[in-house]
Amino acid sequence: MSEKTKNKNNKGWMYDELFPDWREWPIAQMGRNRSELVKEVEEYTLKAVHDATNNSRANLNDELAKALYLERVRISQTPWKADKPDEKAFWGSIKKALLKIPPDGVAPEGQDEEAILQRIVERYSDEIAGNFNMSAYNFAKGFTTFGFARLLNSWNVFGMRTLRGQRRELHEKIKLVGAIDDIRNLATKGTVIMVPTHFSNIDSILIGWAIQSIGLPPFVYGAGLNLFGIKLLAFFMNRLGAYKVDRRRKNLIYLETLKAYSTLALRHGSNSLFFPGGTRSRSGAIESKLKLGLLGTAFEAQRLNYIDKPNDKARKIYVVPVVFNYNFVLEAPSLINEHLKRAGQEQYYDENRSGSSSINMFKFIYKFLTVQGEMSISFGKPMDLFGNDVNHEGQSIDRNGRQVDIMRYFITNGVITHDQQREAEYTRMLGDEIVKRYHKENMVYPSHLVAYTAFQIIKKRHKKLDLYSLLRLPEDDHTIEYNEFYETIERMVGVLKQMSAEGKIRLDDDFDRFDTKGIIEEGVRNSGIYHAQRPVKLTKEGTIASEDFNLLYYYHNRLEGYGLNKHI
Amino acid sequence: MDLTSTFNRNMTVGVVGSGSFGLALANLLAENRDVILYSRRSEVADAINANHEIYGKKLNARVTATSDITEVTSNCTLLFPVVSSLGFRQVIRSMAPTLRPDHIIIHGTKGLDIKFPVQDLTATSTLSRGQISTMSEIVLQESVVKRVGCLGGPNLASEIMQGQPAATVVASRFEEVIHEGQKALRSRRFQVYGSHDVTGIEIAGVLKNVIAIASGALGGLGLGDNARALLISRGMAEMIYIGKTMGADTRAFIGLAGVGDLIATSSSPLSRNYTVGFRLAKGESLDAITKTMTEAAEGINTIKVAKALVNNYKVRAPITEALYRIMYGDMDIKQALQYLMEYP
């Protein structure tokens, strides 16, 4: 981390703001010119829908009918608080208009498919578009900092501190590691897309905080429409540049409008945030399959940037994988339960868990308040859309150190062409690369290693049991003798250090600071620290045991996918 | 950038490798396009340019040869590397400095690549999927080219040279690559199918060489069509089992590039791999055979890789096992045959 920018700012941020004049922020400009942006989204969407329907009136009619049907089903079957009150009336009028079109012929202008499409797209565009507002941003900035400090710094709850002091505390609690200087540099040269892993609901707030901490203006991101049902949240998200994504809607016209918004935000140079995993990781493992929908808009925007300027003046888009590293995930118990249900279907019985009795709740809060665990956010090395490294000037460099002109990836027979299938394939390749980078950026804490090792030792002991039988073993079968555990951990630390030296994974500096005994103690102490039932604990007899084997499995999953089990 | 200056590049196609399949491919392509053919030996290139003929094989007048690889990469956007799998990575490396993101590469090499010499593989070696690269994976690893595809199917070079009707499969994850490949290759005597399953098509083409050697051995023993049909159908099942460990989909095996290629190479004395098996059965040693062959029979190396895969993934593969022991171990062909007939 460069000392130049660190801690210089009198407001207490770690990094200077890169663009102190917020009026220059593309996201602020988008907010100021919202009505123009909405118009732009409309036009863009209309063209995209025409392309998708091959400019055929009959195809368009089909898509309209499909959209109408799906929307009416949605309205009656999954109504949400955040829905507009006139939904029913609007789609009722669309239905009428569609019925008026003669089946065999052409409707008069203003009443034809085109006019109906326009009405729908207008409505969608206005609903999706965000509404950035600077004073709300400033307010939220203070709010998250304050709220976070309370959440993570238990003893702060009991004492008053200045906002400034708390910010410092927060940075001690949450380490920001990785290619921050590179990201800051590239943010001055092109458009940055961050693609974080997703483990906890706290992530979207955390990434917002992290982005402002490294001195970048706020990022545009799509937030679930359901969240807008909560009024206070809606108030802020509306004004923080979030646009609305309604996951219930799968009709072509809606999806094209959504893509149009994301594409145009990127085209305007707004840094953007996608959670490519789609939802939180249920298993606790790092995402291995990504949902690529909106990531594809990056290729669209990059191609259009090159059509504007077919040379190295074109604005480039850079991708930054981000990994959240936690000792604990607040909602782990419910996540892993959902995962096991989904994966195992009837194989898995959710026995009544005793997690919510008042004694356990007390224990929960107590642990919550006395927690000393830390967390970190690793910023991966920025890359271009094709997985190439980029140099200080933002140029793409291939594995052999040669400069790559990535514009040519969009070229067929000498000209830049729009080939949907090709770009879908590029998007898939980028997704694979992001997953690879996640594994490299993943930071191992002693608590992860302890959970992984404990689970694998027990699994190895019961080779013939499938996962579900394993999870239902009686508690007595979960205990591991300290010596066996010690030896395995020692071996694993060696393996991890080797991997870390080869750049395959990150290791927390606890692994340098402590000996094996210390690592075990630290790991057990921090393992799932907030949970009423501990995934790993040291018993009075000095053995290793688990109070909640499902949770142990959840935290163990964090180190899956590295082939570490062959060292157990 | 001046895009118009690149226009010519898009009408000229490059073939890298002047083996018998490279020559056949060049002739096929020359029916539609100008072709630049790369040979690493300048005397071959010179001979082609002087007489449009090499090794007694006539070449279309639209084929120009060169021994300078950059001539090919800088003048053509669509490239067909057809060199042996042993030299494949090196050839791509030599092309890499002049390859650009708009190049399209469709290879015609039916072999696999491992990071160390194949000779180091023994009867007990194991290989996992991650240690093996297909040819298209090599292109992705070694160059900036992303638009990659492969050729599959029964393409006996000498029949193509004679102008007999045939067909091929162009496989790529990119629609565009399939389309460009079809445009360049399709003619009245050559049908070109498309597929999106690159790995499947590559693996099917690779594994069939093992069965082709076994089939040649049956031929060498003078056995008839019952035995061959038995071998081909059981061999097909074995290919699918081994292919699955490489991530290949079953469907690829039942198409032109799988069963089609298998039938052609397993019944034709024109096939190099068949010839290896045939001569083994006639009592020649593997060393003696390889020394007298002008071009590599891919199956000789593939069987080692296949055996190591079988060892690792515990696949049921009696033909591969028996053939491995004939070629590199303790079994003679008659014992192997008995072993197979009695295999449970």
Parse chain A into domains and list their residue ranges.
Answer: 443-567
Q: Is residue B122 part of a domain?
A: no
pLDDT digits (tens, 9 = 90+) for A414-446: 899 999 999 999 999 999 999 999 999 999 999
State whether B237 and B335 are in the same domain.
Answer: yes
Structure tokens at B274: 């068949």
Of A311, A405, A419, the CB nearest to B100: A405
Residues of chain A positioned with their CB less than 8 A from the CB of B146: 386, 409, 425-426, 429
pLDDT interval class at A82 (50, 70, 90):
confident
Best B3, B6, B7, B102 residue to mutate vs chain A (most A CBs within 10 Å): B102
Tell me the C-alpha distance between A122 and A117, whole Å: 8
Residue B57 a catalytic site member: no
**A241-292: per-residue pLDDT in tens?**
788 888 889 999 999 999 999 999 999 999 999 988 878 889 999 988 888 8
Residue B121, in any domain of the structure = no
Residue A178: beta bridge partners?
Answer: A379
Q: What angle do CA A151, A152, A153 make, to 5 degrees?
A: 105
pLDDT at residue number A169: 56
B54: helix, coil or strand? strand
**Per-residue pLDDT band at B74 (split at 50, 70, 90):** very high
Three-state secondary structure call for residue A179: coil
For A:106-165, CB contacts with B below 8 A are: none
**How sure is the predictor about B267, in pLDDT bands with cuts at 50, 70 and 90?**
confident
Token pair for A433 = 């690369």
Helix-strand-coil percent breakdown of chain A, rounded to 5?
55, 10, 35
Residue B132 has pLDDT above 90, yes or no: yes
Looking at residue B48, its pLDDT comes to: 94
Among the partner-chain residues B7, B102, B175, the one whose CB lies closest to the CB of A411 is B102
Q: What is the pLDDT of residue A292?
A: 83
Share of chain A above pLDDT 70, in %: 84
For residue A566, the distance in angstroms to the closest alpha carbon of chain B comes to: 14
- The number of C-alpha atoms within 13 Å of A251 and in the hemisphere containing its C-beta is 20
Assess whether pLDDT exceeds 60 at residue A13: no
Instruction: Please report the number of interchain residue pairs, chain A to chain B, with beta-carbon separation below 8 angstroms.
Output: 54
Asked whether residue B105 falls in the same domain as residue B161, the answer is yes
- Asked if pLDDT for residue B85 goes beyond 90, the answer is yes
**DSSP H helical segments within A78-162, as ranges?**
87-100, 113-128, 134-152
- Pairing mode of beta strands B147-152, B104-107: parallel
Q: Chain B residues with CB inside 8 Å of A388's CB?
A: 144
Average pLDDT, chain A: 84
pLDDT, tens digit, for every residue of B229-259? 999 999 999 999 999 999 999 999 999 999 9
**CA–CA separation, B340 and B344 (whole Å):** 9
Report CB contact under 8 Å: B146, A310. Answer: no
Q: Are residues B336 and B229 part of one domain? A: yes
Question: Are B200 and B243 spatial neighbours (Cβ–Cβ below 8 Å)?
Answer: yes
Domain count, chain B: 2
Contact A525, A486 (CB under 8 A): no
Q: From residue A381, how far is each of A156, A179, A305 by CA, in Å?
A: 34, 5, 23
Same domain, B50 and B170: yes
What is the band of B44 on the pLDDT scale with cuts at 50, 70, 90? very high
Identify the H or E element spanning B12. Answer: strand B12-16
Asked whether the beta carbons of residue B100 and residue A413 sit closer than 8 angstroms, the reply is: no
For CA atoms A500, A506, A510, A516, the dihedral sign is: negative
Residue B67 lies in a domain: yes
The residues pairing with A379 across neighbouring beta strands, listed in sequence order, are A178, A322
Q: Please tell me which residue in B208, B282, B307, B314 is annotated as part of the active site.
A: B208
DSSP code per residue over B163-228: T--EEEEEEES-HHHHHHHHHHH-BTTEEEEEES-HHHHHHHHHHHHHHHHHHHHHHHTT--HHHH
How near does any CA of chain B get to the CA of A473, in Å? 30
How far, in Å, CA of B196 to CA of B176, rounded?
A: 11
Confidence of residue A7 (pLDDT cuts 50, 70, 90): very low
- Give how far A396 is from chain B: nearest CA, Å: 11
Phi-psi region of A377 (alpha: psi -120 to 50; beta: other; left: phi over 0): beta
Give A407's contacts in chain B (Cβ within 8 Å): 1, 101
Taking the CA of residue A432 and the nearest CA in chain B, the distance in Å comes to 13
For residue B333, give its domain range: 200-342
Q: How far apart are CA A390 and CA A401, in angstroms?
A: 10
Same domain? For B181 and B303 the reply is no
- With a pLDDT cut of 90, the percent of chain B lying above it is 79
User: Do residue B6 and residue A311 have CB atoms under 8 angstroms apart?
Assistant: no
From CA A86, how far away is CA A93, in angstroms rounded?
11
| Cα(A552)–Cα(A478) distance, integer angstroms | 11
Worst-scoring range by mean pLDDT, A69-73, A227-231, B97-101, B265-269? A227-231
Instruction: Return the number of other C-beta atoms located less than 10 Å from residue B276's C-beta.
Output: 25
The 3-state DSSP class for residue A434 equals: helix
Are residues B263 and B338 located together in one domain of the fold? Answer: yes
Minimum-distance CB partner of A429 among B3, B146, B176: B146
Q: How far is B305 from B170, CA to CA, in rounded Å?
A: 25
The residue-averaged pLDDT of A84-99 equals 94
Nearest CA in chain B to A310: B1
Q: In this structure, are residues A190 and A319 in contact, taking their beta carbons and an 8 Å threshold?
A: no
Residue B28 shares a structural domain with residue B141: yes
Element (H, E) at A220: strand A220-224
CB crowding A197-234: b at 16 or more within 10 Å, else e? bbbbebbbbbbbbbbbbbbbbbbbbbbbbbbbeeeeeb
- Measured from the Cβ of residue A459, the count of other Cβ atoms closer than 10 Å reads 16
Same domain for B169 and B65, yes or no, is yes
Helical residues (DSSP H) of A225-346, grouped into ranges: 231-239, 252-267, 296-308, 332-344
Is residue B103's pLDDT more than 60? yes
Among candidates B1, B146, B174 on the partner chain, residue whose Cβ is nearest the Cβ of A311 = B1
Estimate to the nearest angstrom the gap between the alpha carbon of A135 and the chain centroid: 25
What does A382-394 look like in DSSP terms, one character per residue?
PB-TTS-EE-TTS
Distance, CA of A507 to CA of A522 (rounded, Å): 14
Give chain A positions within 8 Å (CB) of B173: 425
Q: Which helix (H) or strand (E) is A378 found in, with range?
A: strand A375-379
Q: What is B227-266 written as a DSSP string?
A: HHHHHHHHHHHHHHHHHHHTT--HHHHTSIIIIIHHHHHH
Q: Do B75 and B158 lie in a common domain?
A: yes
Give the pairing type, strands B132-134 and B112-114: antiparallel
User: CB-based contacts of B209: which residues, under 8 Å, 6+ apart?
Assistant: B110, B265, B273, B297, B298, B299, B302
* Residue B154 three-state SS: coil
pLDDT for A357: 38
Question: d(Cα B262, Cα B42) in Å, to the nearest integer?
Answer: 35
Identify from B1, B197, B312 which residue to disrupt to test chain A contact, counting A C-beta atoms within 10 A and taking the largest count.
B1
The Cα B15–Cα B28 span in angstroms is 11
What are A458-507's pLDDT values in tens digits? 999 998 899 998 998 887 777 899 999 999 999 999 999 999 999 999 99
Q: Would you say residue B126 lies in a domain? A: no
Does the pLDDT value for residue A8 go beyond 80? no
- Residues B247 and B136 grouped into a single domain: no
Interchain pair A422, B175: CB under 8 A: yes
- B151 with B99, same domain: the answer is yes
Q: Region B60-68: what's the mean pLDDT?
A: 95
Say whether A414 and B97 touch across the interface (CB within 8 A): no
What confidence tens digit (pLDDT) does each residue in A315-340 have? 999 999 999 998 887 778 888 988 88
Per-residue model confidence as pLDDT tens digits over A340-383? 888 765 444 444 343 333 344 444 434 433 454 578 899 999 99
* End-to-end Cα spacing for chain B: 66
Chain B contact present for A430, CB below 8 A: no
Residue B125 lies in a domain: no
For residues B142-159, b (16+ Cβ closer than 10 Å) or e, as one string?
Answer: bbbbbbbbbbbbbbbbeb
Query: For the segment B301-342, what is each residue's pLDDT rounded down to a tens digit?
Result: 999 999 999 999 999 999 999 999 999 988 888 888 888 888
The answer as to whether B124 is a domain residue is no
Which residues from chain A sit within 8 angstroms of residue B6, using beta carbons?
414
CATH number for B301: 1.10.1040.10
- Could you tell me which residue, B152 or A148, shows the higher pLDDT? B152
Render pLDDT for A179-204 as a digit per residue (tens, 0 to 9): 999 999 999 999 999 999 998 877 77
Nearest-CA distance from B260 to chain A in Å? 29
* A549-557 vs A332-344: helix crossing angle, rounded to 10: 90
Is the confidence at residue A114, as pLDDT, over 70? Answer: yes
Nearest-neighbour CA in chain B from A411: distance (Å) = 6
B161, B183, B199 - which closes a domain? B199
Contacts of A184 (CB under 8 A, 6+ apart): A5, A15, A18, A214, A215, A216
Last residue of a domain, one of B142, B173, B199: B199
pLDDT digits (tens, 9 = 90+) for B194-206: 999 999 999 999 9
CB contact under 8 A, B176 and A408: no
> Which of B177, B199, B221 lies at the terminal end of a domain, its last residue?
B199
Same-domain check for residues B99 and B237: no
Q: Best of A302, A385, A411 to disrupt the B interface by mutation (most B CBs within 10 Å)?
A: A411
How high is the mean pLDDT of chain B? Answer: 92
Q: What gap in Å lies between CA A467 and CA B51, rounded to an integer?
A: 70
Q: Please report the pLDDT score of residue A218 as a whole number.
A: 87
DSSP B62-95: TEEEES-HHHHHHH-SEEEE---HHHHHHHHHHH
pLDDT of residue A153: 47
Query: Do the beta carbons of residue A433 and residue A381 sit within 8 Å?
Result: no
Interchain contact A563–B (C-beta under 8 A): no
Residue pair A389/A555 in contact by the 8 Å Cβ criterion: no
> pLDDT for B143-182, tens place per residue?
999 999 999 999 888 888 888 999 999 999 999 999 999 9
* C-alpha span between B106 and B201 (Å, rounded): 12
pLDDT of residue A345: 57
CB-CB neighbours of B275 under 10 Å: 20
At residue A291, the pLDDT reads 83
> How far is Cα B104 from Cα A425, in angstroms, rounded to an integer?
14
Q: How large is the average pLDDT for residues B91-104?
A: 96
